[in-house]
Structures are given as C-alpha cells and as structure tokens.
Amino acid sequence: MIKYSVLYPNIENGTFDHDYYRNVHLPLIKKKMGEFCHSYAIDKIQDNAPADTPFVAACHIYCHSMEDFEKGMKDHAAEFVADVANFTNIEPVKMIFDVVV
C-alpha cells in the first residue's frame, strides 16, 4: 500500500476552502481514479490551533501500489491540477510513502 500525501503549508495570505476540498476536489479525484484509489483521508487544522502551525490542510490518497497510483492519475492529473485554483492559492508539499502498518 502507498500513501500519496499533499500538505498545504500555513503561509501569509494563504487561502484554503476546506468545504470545496472535502465536497468537490477529493470526490473528483476518487471518481476519476476509480478502482485505482483505494481510499482517501483529509486533514483540517483545528480552529483553535496556534497561528504558527506549519500546515492548514492535507490529504492522503491510498492505493494498493505505485502502479495503481500512476494508472489512476495518468489521464486525469492535468484536470486535478487545474481544479486547485478553485480552493487554494497555496503551493503544496507532495510526498509518497510506503504504508508499513
């Protein structure tokens, strides 16, 4: 199992629409990736978090293998990237992990 994580840093003048992210963007990814996306999770910073917290949001897309991730993204990556402007002006940090437990 792999986990593709996208983390959104807490930057000055950064904007992030959590509702759009939860209700539109991630369901779009799940739908388009189809069977190649096992599941996903979304993290939202708590309202009472310190102002200097390093990130405001993150998502984690789980796939059975790197090959599944690549197949799921292959024909849709440009559409996913184009949709980012609808919910944030923050440049994300992307990471891929092997899930070991």
> How many CB atoms are closer than 10 A to CB 34?
10
Can you list the domains of the chain with their CATH numbers? Answer: 2-98 (3.30.70.100)
Of 3, 5, 2, nearest to 92 (Cα)? 5
Indicate whether this model's pTM tops 0.85: yes
Quick: pLDDT tens for 25-60.
999 999 999 999 999 999 999 999 998 999 999 999
Q: Which residues, 6 or more positions from 66, have their beta carbon under 8 angstroms from its beta carbon? A: 2, 96
Quick: pLDDT tens for 59-84.
999 999 999 999 999 999 999 999 99
Of 71, 81, 6, 17, nearest to 40 (Cα)? 6
Please tell me the distance from the alpha carbon of residue 40 to that of residue 87, in angstroms, as a whole number. Answer: 18
